[in-house]
Amino acid sequence: MGLLSILRKLKSTPDQEVRILLLGLDNGGKTTLLKQLASEDISHITPTQGFNIKSVQSQGFKLNVWDIGGQRKIRPYWRNYFENTDVLIYVIDSADRKRFEETGQELAELLDEEKLSGVPVLIFANKQDLLTAAPASEIAEGLNLHTIRDRMWQIQSCSALTGEGIQEGMNWVCKSVNSKKK
């Protein structure tokens, strides 16, 4: 990198801040995803009591990612974090078929929330590294995603463990923020 481009970088406006809310049932992989985004070690993760927040730079954005614990007991607190959300990322454990219904219900309730109306939603069909994982297409169908009309949405298969698919998902997040601003 030449001196000029460094100077240009210093002069350019600070990164635009984006508020991203990371939700989903417990054991879906939200914290692993968050740490993977921040390029941190993912081998010592424990269940999230409360929430974690991290800021990540990406494509000229400063992404402030809020990872909220998914256990049933603290789901009532989710709504405290809705305000000013730019993008919602909903994480699903694609191998936990027994809880597809529960996760679908939670997602449907989120999409009905007034404070989240129009907010683009990215669904991560996580844990694709597991043999028993359902493909994204099957999950999309099960969740009736095609009936969503009031916002941009996308489903992306990924593995927070290996990092596969995450970049693609985040590209969509940045794109959707850009097109929302226009």
Partner 1 sequence: MVSNCHFVLEMLGYIWQYIYTSFLRYWLKWLLRQATGKCELQRICSGYKPGASRTTKAEYSLRSSKNKVLRGALESSKDHLEQCVDQIMKEKHVKAQIDPMFKGSLHICLLQITGYSSLYTSVEDLRKEVFLSEDPQHEAMLFKLWDLLMPEVKLESRITKQWGDIGFQGDDPKTDFRGMGLLGLINLVFFSENYTAEARQVLSHANHPKLGYSYAIVGINLTEMAYSLLKTGALKPHFYNAVQGAPELTHFHQLYCYLAYEFDKFWVAEEPESIMEFNQYREKFHNVVKTHLQDPSVCLRLTSSN
55 binds partner 1 (CB under 8 A): no
Closer residue to partner 1 in complex, CB, 69/165: 69
Residue with token string 């290996």: 162
9, 54 contact by CB (below 8 A): no
Q: Which stretch binds partner 1 (CB under 8 A): 66-74, 130-138, 141-149, 169-177?
A: 66-74
Tell me which of 16, 49, 59, 71 is the catalytic residue.
71
71 binds partner 1 (CB under 8 A): yes
The answer to whether residue 49 is catalytic is no
167 binds partner 1 (CB under 8 A): no
Burial of residue 122 (number of CB atoms within 10 Å: 0-12, 13-18, 19+)? buried
Please name which of 96, 50, 92 lies closest in space to residue 69, comparing C-alpha atoms: 50
> To the nearest whole angstrom, how small is the minimum distance from the Cβ of residue 35 to partner 1?
10
Residue with token string 């417990």: 26
39 binds partner 1 (CB under 8 A): no
146 binds partner 1 (CB under 8 A): no
Closer residue to partner 1 in complex, CB, 71/167: 71
Please name which of 179, 171, 157, 152 lies closest in space to residue 63, comparing C-alpha atoms: 171
Angle at 22 between CA 40 and CA 107, to 5 degrees: 145
79 binds partner 1 (CB under 8 A): no
Count of beta carbons in the 10 Å neighbourhood of residue 22: 29
Report the catalytic residues: 71
Contacts with partner 1 by CB under 8 A lie at 26-27, 42-47, 49-52, 70-74, 77, 80
